[in-house]
């Protein structure tokens, strides 16, 4: 859920650039400082990747969290999950909601009072600190205080998510000022960041070792990635081309807030997209890792590399990320005021009839029937649902300039904020879906 929201926010900021960049088209190319060695492209790639690392690495370490919260009185069995294990992903989603919805709203209203550098460096410094804590806690024996460790983990995640949300919102403010070529670099970095956690987790599992040894390697890589992002966030302000497009960050802190009349007018123009986003956010609570990480292989064997070790990391985390990336790449700005209702109808059908099917796959159920017991059925549903959700959401954001009129920047910011609110507010439903299975 958190990764979906960050994808939406990053896409929003990217599209803002076309309006911002057009304001500089009358200036000659000789006025623009050179991008020596493509250093700004590389910086944008790393910043985009770093924006996704905190959420991606935390959620993708599923094998480690399942080991930490296992039933210590029984042999560790990945197919049988206790209360803490079953509710880990869904509780993470709720924690993310409480922190992110507050941070996103406050960031939209007041974060501009701080300079971009202060927001970048401050939020990333907090993220690095908490990744160091994740790493340090790996070797701590928590078997005697599992519930306390669960609460501590969620508390750290809550604070880390605040820092991550602030950094992401700051990325939005930054990338909206730059030309499309740099935004592509940022988007590529974001896509890599979404997949990085899953890929690193799978590689660490392949290297081998106990769950704690794998987690130690995993979080060390995450910490190093965050440190590199922090260094880039600090150094990017010394690149002349960056300062040329970024402008006067001190003057930005003195901007006034948009009026309520402007907000109402923008919301009136966007209502079909807003309604579709609201319905889609409800459906996405059924298809996220909170649900898919509970699915077991239909021919599970304890100790088998595929069914016991790689099944969940590959199919619950990596596969949706890859398919979602394909959906975002293939989406084009097709919507307008005359055909948007077809998009809305498809979104409703997908949300009510297609996405909920994932709840009937092969997991430990007490109430719902298993209608799709085989691995190939789960894989097919993951591909179809991930592609449709990603394609439809990206399609709406790509088409948004046709609905914004002259107030294009406020249009994107309003939509990004509302989508964030919808998804965060609906995420507690994931706990409901988990417990009614």
> What pLDDT does residue 16 have?
47
Q: Which comes out higher in pLDDT, residue 306 or 365?
A: 306
Question: CA–CA separation, 8 vs 413, rounded Å?
Answer: 11
Which tens digits make up the pLDDT trace of 211-251? 888 888 889 998 999 999 999 999 988 888 888 887 655 55
Instruction: State the chain's mean pLDDT as an integer.
Output: 81
CB-based contacts of 354: which residues, under 8 Å, 6+ apart? 384, 385, 388
> What pLDDT does residue 263 have?
74
> What pLDDT does residue 14 have?
46
Question: CA–CA separation, 15 vs 177, rounded Å?
Answer: 10
> What pLDDT does residue 23 have?
45
At residue 30 the predicted structure's pLDDT band, cuts being 50, 70 and 90, is: low
Percent of the chain with pLDDT over 70: 86
Which tens digits make up the pLDDT trace of 127-140? 999 999 999 999 89
> What pLDDT does residue 134 have?
92
Q: What is the pTM of this model?
A: 0.74
Q: In the structure encoding, which two tokens stand for residue 89, read together?
A: 């992903």
Question: CA–CA separation, 190 vs 329, rounded Å?
Answer: 13
The CATH number of the domain holding residue 225 is: 1.20.1250
At residue 256 the predicted structure's pLDDT band, cuts being 50, 70 and 90, is: low
Q: Which of 258, 113, 238, 122 is nearest to 173 (CA)?
A: 113
Query: How many folded domains does the chain comprise?
Result: 1
> What pLDDT does residue 15 have?
45
DSSP category for residue 361: B
- b/e per residue 347-371 (b: at least 16 CB within 10 A): beebbeebbbbbbbbbbeeeeeeee
Does the pLDDT at position 65 exceed 70? yes
Asked whether the beta carbons of 378 and 295 are under 8 A apart, the reply is yes
> What pLDDT does residue 243 have?
84
Question: CA–CA separation, 273 vs 410, rounded Å?
Answer: 15
> What pLDDT does residue 408 have?
67
């Amino acid at each position: 859920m958190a990764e979906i929201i960050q994808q939406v926010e990053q896409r929003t900021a990217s599209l803002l650039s076309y309006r911002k960049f057009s304001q500089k088209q009358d200036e000659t190319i000789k006025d623009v400082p050179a991008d020596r060695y493509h250093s700004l492209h590389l910086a944008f790639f790393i910043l985009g990747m770093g924006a996704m690392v905190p959420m991606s690495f935390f959620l993708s370490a599923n094998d480690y969290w399942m080991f930490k919260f296992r039933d210590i009185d029984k042999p560790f069995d990945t197919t049988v999950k206790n209360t803490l294990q079953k509710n880990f992903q869904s509780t993470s989603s709720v924690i993310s909601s409480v922190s992110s919805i507050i941070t996103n709203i406050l960031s939209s209203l007041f974060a501009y009072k701080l300079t971009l550098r202060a927001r970048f460096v401050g939020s990333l410094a907090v993220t690095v600190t908490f990744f160091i804590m994740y790493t340090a806690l790996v070797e701590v024996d928590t078997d005697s205080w599992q519930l306390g460790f669960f609460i501590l983990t969620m508390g750290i995640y809550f604070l880390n998510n605040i820092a991550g949300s602030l950094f992401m919102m700051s990325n939005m403010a930054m990338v909206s000022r730059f030309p499309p070529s740099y935004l592509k670099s940022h988007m590529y970095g974001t896509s890599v960041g979404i997949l990085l956690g899953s890929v690193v987790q799978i590689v660490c599992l392949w290297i081998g070792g106990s769950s704690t040894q794998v987690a130690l390697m995993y979080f060390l890589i995450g910490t190093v990635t965050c440190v590199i992002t922090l260094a880039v966030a600090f150094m990017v302000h010394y690149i002349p081309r960056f300062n040329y497009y970024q402008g006067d960050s001190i003057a930005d802190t003195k901007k006034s807030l948009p009026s309520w009349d402007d907000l109402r007018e923008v919301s009136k123009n966007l209502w079909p997209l807003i309604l579709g986003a609201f319905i889609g956010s409800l459906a996405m609570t059924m298809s996220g890792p909170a649900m898919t990480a509970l699915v077991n292989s239909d021919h599970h064997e304890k100790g088998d590399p595929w069914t016991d070790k790689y099944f969940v990391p590959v199919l619950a985390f990596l596969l949706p990320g890859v398919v979602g990336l394909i959906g975002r790449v293939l989406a084009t700005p097709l919507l307008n005021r005359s055909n948007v209702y077809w998009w809305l109808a498809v979104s409703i059908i997908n949300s009510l009839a297609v996405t909920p099917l994932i709840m009937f796959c092969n997991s430990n159920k007490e109430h719902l029937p298993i209608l799709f017991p085989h691995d190939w059925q789960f894989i097919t549903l993951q591909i179809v649902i991930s592609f449709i959700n990603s394609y439809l959401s990206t399609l709406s954001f790509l088409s948004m300039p046709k609905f914004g009129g002259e107030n294009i920047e406020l249009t994107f910011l309003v939509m990004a904020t509302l989508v964030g609110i919808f998804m965060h507010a609906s995420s507690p439903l994931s706990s409901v879906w988990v417990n009614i299975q």
